[in-house]
Amino acid sequence: MSRTEICDAARHAVAGIHDGSTVLVGGFGMAGMPTTLIDALIQQGATDLTIVSNNAGNGDTGLAALLAAGRVTKVICSFPRQTDSYVFDELYRAGKVHLEVVPQGNLAERIRAAGAGIGAFFCPTGVGTPLAEGKETRTIDGRDYVLEYPIRGDVALIGAHIGDRAGNLLYRKTARNFGPVMATAASLTIAEVSRVVEAGSIDPEIVVTPGIFVDRILDLSADRRMREAAS
């Protein structure tokens, strides 16, 4: 029997996320951004959050809306400043949010390492730059490396295309991005999907994220029907 819970309402999917949580948020820009789950998290009220994502929000929706609501204390990301990252930029300049910049490849690998149970790893990216200050360095086969530690999440919020009732996930094109590694690296993984199919409907050979890593799935089609009925 699957341990994955299928949720028909976003508020149920994000229930129990605590203040002070480290939340891994999928998405490359808005591609694969779990906006419905983020909106529900805003309504849920958890605060003092550390957000781990590729960037620091776009425009005033999704992750930017969570920042604007004052729920985020720290952001760990690769691209904090873009033409439409004005929400984060304003908060950072005002000293209302802390920032840790991590090169994109390192970010993905630090998250993957957490999911794989790797204690730490040496990487050449960042050697000789301010990003390596205070970190252990080592020369291996004539090349300098810096020691990096895993990034684990209390919660992962990811967006996928199709999920089945056993928790298996498929992604759509570039929306795949950070979702697969984030799903493995959190104590609680919640995915929003465009539709849910019966277990066994997805060919096992094309499953990207196995259901063992997914705790809750939000069926966006069911959530939409419930909100329409309530209005």
Tokens 């949580």 correspond to 21
Domain total for the chain?
Answer: 1
| Range(s) of the domain holding residue 64 | 5-230
Q: Tokens for 31?
A: 């591609």
Q: pLDDT confidence of 1, banded at 50, 70, 90?
A: very low
CA atoms within 13 A on the CB side of 223: 22
Please tell me the pTM assigned to this model. 0.94
Domain at 132, CATH number: 3.40.1080.10
Q: pLDDT confidence of 231, banded at 50, 70, 90?
A: low
The pLDDT value recorded for residue 224 is 72
Q: Could you report the per-residue pLDDT of 165-180, keeping only the tens digit for each?
A: 999 999 999 999 999 9
Whether the per-residue pLDDT at 206 is higher than 70: the answer is yes
Q: Could you report the per-residue pLDDT of 86-119, keeping only the tens digit for each?
A: 999 999 999 999 999 999 999 999 999 999 999 9
- Residue 3, exposed/middle/buried by CB under 10 A (0-12, 13-18, 19+)? exposed
Proportion of the chain above pLDDT 70, given as a percent: 97
Alpha-carbon separation of residue 192 from 30, 90, 148 (angstroms): 14, 29, 30
Tokens 């994502």 correspond to 53
Angle at 115 between CA 109 and CA 121, to 5 degrees: 45
- Residue 182, exposed/middle/buried by CB under 10 A (0-12, 13-18, 19+)? buried
Q: Could you report the per-residue pLDDT of 23-82, keeping only the tens digit for each?
A: 999 999 889 999 999 999 999 999 999 999 999 998 999 999 999 999 999 999 999 988
Mean per-residue pLDDT over the chain, rounded = 94
Q: Tokens for 139?
A: 């020369």
